Structure formats: structure tokens, C-alpha cells
Amino acid sequence: MPSNVEIKARVSDVAKFAEKAAQLSQSEGTIIRQHDTFFNCTSGRLKLRDFMNGSGQLIFYERPDTDGPKLSRYSISPTTDPQSLKTVLSDALGVKGEVKKERRLFLIGQTRVHLDTVEGLGHYMELEVVMRQEQTVEEGQQVSFYDPL
């Protein structure tokens, strides 16, 4: 199962964070609109990510509820009909919650830097180190701390 190391935090100065991320990535970032629906499941987490353009992803992942860097293992299945899939999964499992956000994605080396504006919650950042198969969790954590954000 693919994995990544993630760090999430609230962002107080969005402009400063975006400026630094743009400088390090040498890009203005990519805007991605997302509507995530989380479903009840007995182990891990299951969400449907609707990109609001007729495409989406069904994502199952396991990640501890702890502070600091954490390992996330995941499986992803693309869909071209997220609305229909949402109806079926809602009927079968029940909806646990929904999150709407606008994500600005910057790529810096092995790290995906997300600047999220979450509807009703505010601004957050996520550093997501996409692990190579041979890498350890410790190496992923070192990469996430090395990136100067």
C-alpha cells in the first residue's frame, strides 16, 4: 500500500506562507477545488474526493490521530461519476462528515505543500512527503523537516 508522511497545521499568515511556498517551488501553485465526503467504516477512513469537475477519487487510508508527523497508508481509486458513487456509499455506510476546500498545491522536491482554505474552518497547511518504496518513516520525517517552510 502506498504511504506518505504528513504534517498539518493552521496558517495564520496566508500571504506569507503562499509567498514562501511559491518561492521554494518556483511556481504559483495549482488551484484544486475539493469536496470531501467521509463515510462510516469499521477500520481506517474512507472518503470520496469530488474535484467538482466530473472527476473524483475514492480514498481509503489509515493514519493515527496524533500530533506531529504521521505515516498515512492509502489506496486510491479514480471515478468519473463521484455524485453517483456518493449516493451509493451514503446509502450503504452513512456519511460521517463533509469538508469543502480550495487547495493550492506546490511541489517542492519530494514534498507536496498544500495551502488549504477550508469552508467554515479557516486556513491550513499540509506537508505531504510522498514516500518512495525503499524509504523508512524516519527518512520521510527528515524530508518533511528539511523543507524550509
- Among 98, 116, 92, residue whose Cα is nearest residue 106: 116
| Nearest 10 degrees: Cα torsion 73, 141, 133, 125 | 60
Each residue's pLDDT tens digit, 10-68: 999 999 999 999 999 999 999 999 999 999 999 999 999 999 999 999 999 999 988 88
In the block, which residue shows the cell 506518505? 4
Cβ neighbours of 86 (radius 10 Å): 20
Q: Which CATH number characterizes residue 135's domain? A: 2.40.320.10
Q: Is 9 in contact with 121 (CB distance < 8 Å)?
A: no
Q: Which residue has the higher pLDDT, 122 or 2?
A: 122
- Among 53, 37, 35, residue whose Cα is nearest residue 45: 37
Q: Is 131 in contact with 140 (CB distance < 8 Å)?
A: yes
pLDDT for 122 beyond 60: yes
pLDDT at 126: 95
Q: What is the pTM of this model?
A: 0.86
Least confident of 5-19, 62-76, 102-116: 62-76
pLDDT at 135: 63
pLDDT at 68: 82
Q: Which residues pair with 123 in a beta bridge?
A: 117
pLDDT at 130: 83
pLDDT at 67: 85
Kindly give the residue spans of alpha helices, DSSP state H, lying in 26-148: 82-93, 137-146
Rounded Cα distance, 72 and 144, in Å? 14
Looking at the structure of the chain, the number of domains it has is 1
Domain interval for residue 65? 3-146
Rounded Cα distance, 87 and 48, in Å? 11
